Structure 1
């Protein structure tokens, strides 16, 4: 079992992919009103929608409340992707590196959301972070349900 890893999951959504991308790229502070696993998203430094900004996320994983401070590493409006790198917080107890990327493909009939997690475990005893994929899939479906109910 290696210390470096990458996990990827995809799901299709019926709601507007451009709006979905906009939430993560420039309005992440609105997500907690749509997704029950997110309790808060606060700007710590910079400006929402800008690379280099620092965002503090409060969320729940398997019933455990967690906090991370993430730097926005990349926002690609053309490709509709956003990359966050954890720089402080609970995740760094188990991982030296934890990078989350969300990509929305709006070219088909449905919109395809792809989440990827690149990580490095602190040691061999740490399990792969599959529970975080479960969380991002629930967040995706919560946001979709919110937009479809409007």
Structure 2
């Protein structure tokens, strides 16, 4: 399991709402990283839904489909299971967890990658976590500029 923790100055509610209820707005905030987010089955913000992301990762145009496994509004916790796409070329399985924790004047944003490698010496998802940090910083900057 890889874990990345960011402290941001934006309100956690905004961050949680963006990824939980309105992920299609992420492309407007991080157009150099995320290009589109569409719902393929179900509805944004609902467990059991399938969403598809178009993004650029390490200079390559990529696609990923995720199953929304869990969204807990009270705990500001979301879990997504990668079910199709470029990320599964490197990992046998991959779940992304996003947990937003209010912390006084700041907010803690935890990104967790649960993964299974194809081989014991296979890669860790450190580049994916770096990508998540970049998105977190873009979202924070966007919301700070709006205030």
CA distance in 2, matches of 1:121, 1:108: 37
Match of 2:27 among 32, 35, 48: 32
Instruction: Give the corresponding residue for 1:144.
Output: 140
Instruction: Give the corresponding residue for 1:105.
Output: 101
Match of 1:7 among 2, 6, 11: 2
Does structure 1 residue 128 correspond to structure 2 residue 124?
Answer: yes
Report Cα offsets for 1:95-120 as digits up to 9, x if no partner: 11100011110142210100000000
Structure 1 residue runs of 5 or longer lacking an equivalent are 1-5
CA distance in 1, matches of 2:53, 2:47: 16
Instruction: Give the corresponding residue for 1:83.
Output: 79
Instruction: Give the corresponding residue for 1:93.
Output: 89
What is the CA-CA distance between 1:149 and the residue it aligns to?
0.7
Q: Secondary structure at the match of 1:134?
A: helix
CA distance in 1, matches of 2:13, 2:51: 21
Moved over 3 A (4+): none
| Aligned CA-pair RMSD | 1.0
Deviates more, 1:55-64 or 1:112-121: 55-64
Match of 1:42 among 29, 38, 44: 38
Question: Structure 2-normalised TM-score?
Answer: 0.94
Does structure 1 residue 16 correspond to structure 2 residue 6?
Answer: no
Structure 2 residue runs of 5 or longer lacking an equivalent are none
Instruction: Give the corresponding residue for 1:3.
Output: none
What is the CA-CA distance between 1:74 and the residue it aligns to?
0.4
Q: Secondary structure at the match of 1:106?
A: strand
